[in-house]
């Protein structure tokens, strides 16, 4: 019996070793960078379950307050290749130890060269971080504030669409139809507004309601060595339950545009992003729900980083600085008064020490401010992240 157990264990270990993706190379060339879904789908060449994971543990210390330790997230990656054209990918996320979400779960069908059909729970292609949020792919312990209050990451919904490349033009494209944000519940309570913008309306694939499909699209240009440029768009209306979707003010219109750029040259890397969202019918929405949703959300950041170690080293030590400004009350409708506390700017300075491909230790200090008279405490952040 012992020999049988040992044999089964050997077979299982051998199967998993062939079914895992290759060890993460962590390229810093934005033209070659992959996210978790791309790595799983491109690395699954056998009819087997492909496994991987990423995760991060954080320590946050605001000035004059107690620090907080958190297993922020642990994400299990599972993929399967049915045949040469059809694959499945999923992310199962454990947040703060006790919360469990399905972050992605979709089927990818390769219809033809550079044309793929994708359907299921997917990331909305807006900006950089929403698609590339594995902890070894960005500087800073916490994701940029722009990608929390404006985008808002991690933003995923159920939909269907096409994606691929036009190599002759150095372009990649994505276009999807998604369900939208949920703006009100069955009792007319507002789910979006204030400092968090649209964040509270993410449905995340949880019994999502839909009455007006939304369009999301992105183009990436990679024709210049080391440079990747992105143009994103998201258009539609928010959703409301059947009991209230006919009521004036239950939903709002959204037109969101994003520009992003990533660049790498030898030991230097840089990135930047601009996101602007125009909302209409916010006055009626605020009157119905008592919320304070702005009619325009806007944010941007620029970041530069330099590897302090020789290029030939496997290890990398990036010193970086990021400046960002984001405002969920960039404009308002009707009698709503702009809240200056929602106009925020952060300066983040720190180090990212990649001790091995797939393992990073991070530390940074954030100088935080807003346009109100209230003081915002600066913050020290430490963290460790993995991805394999």
Q: Please identify which residue in the block is written with the tokens 């308002």.
A: 332
Residue 300: per-residue pLDDT: 98
What DSSP designation does 136 have? G
DSSP state of 285: H
Q: What is the pLDDT of residue 182?
A: 97
Residue 104 to residue 240: CA distance in whole angstroms: 23
What integer pLDDT is reported at residue 46 of this predicted model? 65
Q: Are 42 and 89 in contact (CB under 8 A)?
A: no
Q: What is the pLDDT of residue 8?
A: 38
Tell me the average confidence (pLDDT) per consecutive run of 10 residues in the chain, 388 residues long: 40 39 58 84 74 96 95 96 93 96 97 96 98 96 97 97 96 97 93 96 95 96 96 97 91 98 96 98 97 98 97 95 98 96 98 95 98 94 96
Please report where in the chains the tokens 């694939």 appear, as a residue.
Answer: 205
Q: What is the pTM of this model?
A: 0.90
Domain 2-387 listed as CATH 2.60.40.10: no
Length of the chain: 388
DSSP string, 291-314: ----SEEEEEEEEEEEE-S-TT-S
Please tell me the distance from the alpha carbon of residue 249 to that of residue 183, in angstroms, as a whole number: 10
Question: pLDDT value at position 44?
Answer: 62
Kindly provide the residue ranges of all beta strands, DSSP E only, lying in the chain, ordered along the sequence. 49-62, 68-81, 86-95, 99-112, 115-123, 156-166, 171-178, 182-184, 214-221, 227-237, 239-240, 253-265, 268-280, 296-307, 316-331, 343-356, 359-370, 379-387
């Amino acid at each position: 019996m012992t020999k049988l157990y040992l044999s089964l264990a050997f077979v299982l270990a051998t199967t998993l070793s062939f079914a895992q993706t290759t060890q993460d190379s962590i390229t810093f060339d934005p033209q070659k960078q992959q996210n978790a879904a791309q790595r799983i789908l491109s690395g699954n060449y056998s009819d087997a379950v492909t496994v991987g994971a990423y995760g991060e543990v954080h320590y946050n210390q605001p000035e004059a307050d107690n620090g907080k330790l958190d297993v922020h997230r642990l994400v299990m990656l599972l993929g399967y290749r049915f045949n040469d054209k059809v694959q499945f990918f999923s992310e199962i996320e454990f947040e703060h130890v006790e919360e469990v979400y399905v972050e992605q779960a979709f089927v990818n069908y390769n219809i033809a060269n550079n044309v793929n059909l994708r359907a299921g729970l997917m990331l909305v292609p807006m900006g950089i971080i929403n698609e590339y949020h594995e902890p070894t792919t960005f500087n800073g312990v916490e994701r940029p504030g722009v990608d929390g209050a404006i985008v808002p990451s991690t933003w995923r919904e159920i939909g269907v669409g096409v994606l691929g490349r036009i190599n002759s033009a150095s372009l990649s494209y994505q276009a999807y139809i998604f369900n939208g944000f949920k703006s009100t519940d069955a009792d007319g309570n507002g789910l979006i507004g204030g400092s968090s913008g649209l964040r509270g309306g993410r449905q995340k694939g949880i019994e999502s309601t839909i009455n007006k499909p939304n369009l999301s699209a992105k183009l990436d240009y990679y024709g210049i060595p080391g440079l990747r440029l992105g143009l994103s768009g998201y258009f539609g209306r928010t959703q409301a339950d059947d009991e209230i979707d006919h009521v004036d003010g239950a939903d709002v219109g959204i037109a969101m545009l994003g520009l992003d750029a990533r660049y790498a040259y030898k030991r230097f890397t840089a990135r930047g992003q601009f996101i602007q969202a125009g909302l209409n019918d916010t006055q009626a929405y605020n009157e119905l729900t008592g919320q304070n949703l702005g009619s325009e959300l806007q944010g941007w950041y620029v970041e530069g980083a330099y590897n302090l170690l020789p290029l030939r080293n496997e290890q990398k030590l990036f010193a970086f600085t990021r400046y960002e400004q984001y405002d969920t009350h960039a404009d308002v409708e009707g009698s709503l008064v702009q809240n200056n506390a929602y106009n925020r700017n952060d300066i983040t300075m720190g180090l990212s020490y990649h001790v091995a491909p797939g393992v990073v230790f991070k530390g940074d200090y954030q100088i935080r401010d807003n346009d109100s008279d209230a003081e915002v405490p600066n913050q020290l952040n430490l963290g460790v992240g993995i991805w394999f």
